[in-house]
Amino acid sequence: MITKWAIILPFIVAFIIPMIRSKLKKTHIGWIALIVPIVLFIALLRFIPQVAAGKVYEHTWQWIPSLDLSFTTYLDGLSMLFALLITGMGALVILYSIFYLSQKEALHKFYCYLLIFMTAMLGVVFSDHFIMLYFFWELTSVSSFLLIAFWHHRKASRRGAQKSMLITVSGGVAMLIGFLMIAHMTGSYSIREAIQIMPTELTNTLFIPAMVLVLLGAFTKSAQFPFHIWLPDAMEAPTPVSAYLHSATMVKAGIYLVARLTPLFAINQSWFWTVTIVGLMTMFWGSFNAVKQTDLKALLAFSTISQLGIIMSLLGMGSLVYVFGYSPATVIYTQAGFAALFHLLNHATFKGALFMMVGIVDHEVGSRDIRRLGGLMSIMPFTFTIAMIGSLSMAGIPFFNGFLSKEMFFEAALRIQQADLYSSTAMLSIIPVIVWVGSVFTFIYCTILIVKTFFGSKDKLPRDRKIHEAPKGMLISPFILVTLVVIMFFVPNFFARYLFSPAMLSLYPNTGTMEQLTPHIAAWHGFNTPLLMTIAVVIIGVILFKLLPKWRGIYNTLPERFTLNVLYDRGQNEVENVGRFMTNLYMTGSIRHYIIYIYLFFIVVVGGYFIKSDSFAFDMTKNAPIEWYEISLMAVMIIAAILILRAKSRLTAVVLNGVLGFGVSIFFVLFRAPDLALTQLVVESVTTVLFLLCFTYLPEWKKEDTPKYTKLINMAIALSAGVLVVILSFAVLHYDEFKTISGFFENAYELAGGANIVNTILGDFRAFDTMLEVVVLLTAGIGVYTLIKLKPRKERKKNEDQ
Amino acid sequence: METMMILIIGVLVVVATYLLLSKNIIRIILGTALLSHAVHLLILTIGEVKKGDVPLLKETPGPYTDALPQALILTAIVISFGVTSFILVLAYRAYAQNKTDDMEEMRGDEHE
Amino acid sequence: MKINDLILRTVVQFVVFIVLTIAIYLFFAGHYTPGGGFVAGLVLASAVVMLYISFDTDTVRKGLPLDFKIVAAIGVTLALLSGILPMLFGQPFLKMSSMNIQFPLIGEKTLATVMIFELGVALTVVGVVMTIILSISEGSDD
């Protein structure tokens, strides 16, 4: 039950917040939003002991049972870890944002989007149904889009929002196709059932395509190389959003998916290779590029990309246990998976704190460009402390949690080197090298972050304002986070016991007991290779940092026009141009052209298939008898129809149309349809009145001055449409391959208590149709009313682009 | 009977299509009205005409004509009334705004 | 719209009542014989239109102070309610039920929930038709 309410509660509050906005003029509306994550966080904490004991809570809510669609949520170790992350970070970020965003902003929108995001994210981690997972997955993209474009008057915000939306949603669609393939192979939409069944489908031809498509979704969401380009642009969002969505939670949805589906795919070795290599490339590329950034947020964005790469590659390395099959000797590989989970939480703590720190600097100084910052240490001592702890943890220096997970990362990379994977030893031996080089760059950008912002001279700071320490409220959240950074270093095994071990069970089910899967984390493990690697990282890092101006030039070796961003922009422009060109080709604005398209389609496709299948039929033998008065009525109708074309005045035409309508109603009488005749009679009168009313406002029609060949084309289309209708009608006239269903309705009296069959169909058997029809009618009425009464308001002032 | 009916329907479709392709908006509206007449008759004709009695259980002993097409047409009549009135008002409003009833003159700019 | 025609007015005054009676008859007859919500609504609307044609707008509005947009909205709501009500009793959406009741004087008659539905349909039709016609005849007052 907790899972269901956890998903629904933020959504409900998201709806309430815009409504109560006007009631709360004085209070910052964030305080109300803050209640949600706190309540959920505490509610989830209560379940920790049971979940840590290996219990799984599950709740099913039947939606469409006949289609096997149900809304199943469950809470196990992995979703618990993520849910705590989402609600915990959510609470801290909302608390921070209360002080970061002023009352003048559109706060109701901000918190509405943020809570919708929370719903979506909790939905992702709790859903057991692939389609539900996909639904929530895309909802996170949508809410992220709205949040990035929160300051939508800025062009950069809109561009960044669009970019992230395009990339993550296309990845999401690929993932959906992958999900459908999985469901097709395993016959189940339940993630847990699919995991149980999948090992029997290893040879299925869909296996690899499904894996690639699902990974596309995960990689785009988690900003993995080469899809990472949206994340730096997403930094246009308000800083609390960047801290929450684009470093702690949403970008980890891809990590969650990879972790959750590892048992499903990892039996195939290509999973190991893809996830590990993509992760490592991302790790390297992100840290390499972070060094050249001058905007603090961009630096953090690239560092997030790099850290996500670390987690991703660790998950990949951990999946080796499936490749080798479980044995006491291979269980050691799962330690990489453990390190992934550990680093996931560590990253959330130190990166969250760093983002908030940058937000504070931006807020107080008015700039986050390192070329305009410096010497802030003495002005903002608390902010400096936060930045120091966060960066050192990120760089992997002892006494902070980042050190522990970084050591485990080195260890895992070294262990992989020894893995016996046939002839790929050369590939494997590069892994520790990449890891080490990436870590050096990580160390460098962490140093840049601290030194350029807080040390040095104050000369470059903007002079137009008095700079001082941030208000206390803004410091609470980052302070809590850096405290966690330190605590987690000293008691890592406590967190391991209650958070990571149960999550390991979800990552590696049937692979061992919780104890076997949980390594003992120790800060001191002797002078082994990982520690030596760390020492080397620090030494080389310091040297390279000092020499930075000398080797900065390598960033300019890659020409600007080959970068991924430029490729993306050019691709987008091309698609837009081609799209506009194609659209202008046929969207001419002429209604005659559009009607011609419709008719041509009908004539060519229907007529063509009709001729191809040779379905002509003409049978007069079954015809009903015909009377002389019927023939004369038909003659009148045909004459009236043709006269409409030649009518000189519109009044004549409308009267002729009335003649046709009354003729139709007489046919209804002849064909034993009294209800129709009645309705047609009244409708025809009312329609004629309407026409006449409108004529008082419209000019008399002029003779059509269309050129001759246009008239000929019109005539040809009209004639061929008529002929096609006639031959089609003949073909289906006495068609009796299927049994008629009308017999059913003749029991109207027993079934619906009415004797007028037509009316029982309308009011009972097919009442839904009638109801919707009434709605259509009402819509038409409202449409007419608004068309007449509504006057165009004065053009609102357009937002200026900044 | 059916053969003749289908021919009438054919004529109605030809006239309606020709009207739909004109420039004048009133002609277009008349075209839609005519097209719906044609379709109503078509549905009724295809559902076997004159094969039974009026579908009123208490009034006649049966067998009855097919009531389903009749129910469909009844719905269609009312909907087409709604649509016709809506387009009529659209025409009126468009004329008030653009001072023309010629669809070709209402095409708008090249890149709107 | 100003038509000063004494004969028309006098005739309409009688005819309207006849037409109204027909509308009500058609409404109740729909269960067994031709008629029903649609036709009743349309006939009712044409009766009101007749009034508007023969008298001027203000006179009719005084005698018939109805906002037809709201009539239409009430109609749709009634139709919807008749669908939702059965759900409260565990029946499917739009499940209609009926019963035969012995009335004094007029004998046995059927009471059915279809009646509510049909009333909704009729009211919507009257409301929409009148809204359309009145909006057009009033114009966009500019």
ipTM of the complex: 0.92
Please give the radius of gyration of chain C, using alpha carbons only, rounded to the nearest integer. 18
Tokens of A640: 């009236």
- CA dist., res. A410 & res. A533, Å (int): 8
CB contact under 8 A, B8 and A634: yes
**CATH code, domain with A734:** 1.20.120
CB contact under 8 A, A674 and C34: yes
- CA dist., res. A417 & res. A428, Å (int): 5
Give domain status of residue A410, yes or no: yes
* Chains contacting chain C through 3 or more C-beta pairs under 8 A: A, B
pLDDT of amino acid A174: 94
Mean pLDDT along residues C36-56: 84
Question: Please, where are the H alpha helices in A101-154?
Answer: 107-126, 130-148
pLDDT of amino acid A554: 76
The count of domains in chain A is 2
CB-hemisphere CA count at 13 Å for A53? 6
pLDDT digits (tens, 9 = 90+) for B39-97: 999 998 887 777 777 777 777 777 788 888 888 998 899 889 888 988 888 888 888 87
| A750 inside 8 A of chain C by CB | no
| Sign of the dihedral defined by the CA atoms of residues A506, A510, A516, A519, in that order | negative
Mean pLDDT along residues B8-18: 93
Which residue among A660, A671, A680 places its CB closest to the CB of B77?
A680
Could you tell me how far CA C119 lies from the centroid of its own chain? 7
User: What is the DSSP-derived secondary structure letter of residue C31?
Assistant: T
CB contact under 8 A, B56 and C132: no
pLDDT of amino acid B12: 94
Please give the radius of gyration of chain A, using alpha carbons only, rounded to the nearest integer. 35
Q: How many CB atoms lie within 10 A of CB A760?
A: 29
Domain that residue B35 falls in: 2-104
Question: Please, where are the H alpha helices in A468-523?
Answer: 472-490, 492-495, 501-507, 514-517
The count of domains in chain C is 1
Q: From residue A17, give the alpha-carbon distance in Å to each of A126, A321, A494, A697, A736.
A: 24, 48, 38, 47, 60
Mutation for testing the A interface, residue in B7, B53, B56 having most A CBs under 10 Å:
B56
A428 burial (CB, 10 Å; 0-12 / 13-18 / 19+) is middle
pLDDT digits (tens, 9 = 90+) for C89-119: 766 676 777 666 666 666 666 667 778 888 8
Domain that residue A655 falls in: 615-760
What angle is formed at CA A101 by the lines to CA A97 and CA A105, rounded to 5 degrees? 135
Same domain, A492 and A412: yes
Same domain, A412 and A531: yes
pLDDT of amino acid B112: 44
A-facing residues of B in 45-84 (CB < 8 A) are 45-46, 49-59, 62, 64-68, 70-71, 73-75, 77-79, 81-84
B17 burial (CB, 10 Å; 0-12 / 13-18 / 19+) is buried
Same domain, A553 and A681: no
Q: Considering A545, A567, A589, which residue would you say is the last residue of a domain?
A: A567
- CA dist., res. B27 & res. A132, Å (int): 50
Which residue in this structure is represented by tokens 């009430």?
C74
User: Which residues in chain A are contacts of B104 at CB distance < 8 A?
Assistant: 590, 592
- What are the DSSP calls for A563-605, one per residue? SHHHHHHHHHHHHHHHHHHHHHHH--S-HHHHHHHHHHHIIII
pLDDT of amino acid A463: 72
Q: From residue A551, give the alpha-carbon distance in Å to each of A538, A543, A546, A556, A563.
A: 18, 12, 10, 10, 20
| Sign of the dihedral defined by the CA atoms of residues C126, C128, C133, C137, in that order | positive
The count of domains in chain B is 1
Give domain status of residue B109, yes or no: no
| A720 inside 8 A of chain B by CB | no
CB contact under 8 A, B58 and A787: no
Query: Which residues of B make CB contacts under 8 Å with C?
Result: 56-59, 74, 78, 82, 85, 88-89, 92-93, 96
**CATH code, domain with B13:** 1.10.287
Backbone φ, ψ for residue A212 (5° rounding)? -60, -45
pLDDT of amino acid A190: 87
The pTM is what? 0.74
Could you tell me how far CA A736 lies from the centroid of its own chain? 49
Same domain, A334 and A449: yes
- CA dist., res. A273 & res. A143, Å (int): 32
- Cβ(A402)–Cβ(A350) below 8 Å: yes
Task: Kindly tell me if the per-residue pLDDT of B38 is higher than 90.
Answer: yes
pLDDT of amino acid A802: 44
User: Least CA distance to C100: which residue of chain A?
Assistant: A753
Give domain status of residue A670, yes or no: yes
Q: From residue A335, give the alpha-carbon distance in Å to each of A411, A505, C17.
A: 9, 12, 90
A621 Cβ partners below 8 Å, 6+ apart? none
**Helices C6-29 and C37-54: angle between axes, nearest 10 degrees:** 170
pLDDT higher at A519 or C128: C128
Closest among A682, A683, A776 to C75, alpha carbons compared = A776
Return the amino acid letter for B111.
Answer: H
Backbone φ, ψ for residue B51 (5° rounding)? -100, -5
Domain that residue C126 falls in: 6-138
Which residue in this structure is represented by tokens 């009676």?
C21
Q: Under DSSP, is residue A295 helix (H, G, I), strand (E, B) or coil?
A: strand
pLDDT of amino acid A568: 86
**Chain C: closest CA distance from residue B83 (Å):** 11
Backbone φ, ψ for residue C108 (5° rounding)? -75, 130
Tokens of C76: 């749709």
- Cβ(A733)–Cβ(B33) below 8 Å: no
pLDDT of amino acid A613: 86
B-facing residues of A in 761-780 (CB < 8 A) are 761-762, 766, 769-770, 773, 776-777, 779-780
- Cβ(A256)–Cβ(A506) below 8 Å: no
User: What is the DSSP-derived secondary structure letter of residue A793?
Assistant: P
Tokens of A62: 């039947």
- CA dist., res. A278 & res. C95, Å (int): 58
Give domain status of residue A708, yes or no: yes
What distance, in Å, lies between the first and last C-alpha atoms of chain B?
51
Give domain status of residue C17, yes or no: yes
Q: How many CB atoms lie within 10 A of CB A448?
A: 21
Same domain, A554 and A689: no
CB contact under 8 A, A682 and C79: no
* Chains contacting chain B through 3 or more C-beta pairs under 8 A: A, C
Mutation for testing the A interface, residue in B25, B87, B92, B102 having most A CBs under 10 Å:
B92
Give domain status of residue C1, yes or no: no
Which residue among C33, C132, C140 places its CB closest to the CB of B85?
C132
How many DSSP H helices and E strands does chain B contain? Answer: 3, 0
User: What is the DSSP-derived secondary structure letter of residue A151?
Assistant: S
- CA dist., res. A358 & res. C77, Å (int): 55
Please give the radius of gyration of chain B, using alpha carbons only, rounded to the nearest integer. 19
Which residue in this structure is represented by tokens 């300019």?
A556
Backbone φ, ψ for residue A557 (5° rounding)? -70, -30
Same domain, A391 and A525: yes
User: Least CA distance to C115: which residue of chain A?
Assistant: A763
User: What is the DSSP-derived secondary structure letter of residue A251?
Assistant: G
**Helices A253-265 and A207-221: angle between axes, nearest 10 degrees:** 160
User: Which residues in chain B are contacts of A623 at CB distance < 8 A?
Assistant: 1-3
**Conformation bin of residue C35: beta by default, left when phi > 0, alpha when psi is -120 to 50:** left
- CA dist., res. A535 & res. A529, Å (int): 10
- CA dist., res. A285 & res. A152, Å (int): 30
Residues of chain A with pLDDT under 70: 1, 63-65, 67-68, 420-424, 511, 558-562, 791-802
C-facing residues of A in 546-585 (CB < 8 A) are none
CB contact under 8 A, C93 and A778: no
Mean pLDDT of chain C: 79
- Cβ(A720)–Cβ(A603) below 8 Å: yes
Give domain status of residue A40, yes or no: no
Closest among A41, A261, A5, A259 to A119, alpha carbons compared = A5
Same domain, A693 and A547: no
| Sign of the dihedral defined by the CA atoms of residues B51, B55, B61, B64, in that order | positive
- CA dist., res. B86 & res. A184, Å (int): 47
Pairing of strands C98-103, A69-75: unpaired
- CA dist., res. A212 & res. A205, Å (int): 12
CB contact under 8 A, C132 and A781: yes
Give domain status of residue A630, yes or no: yes
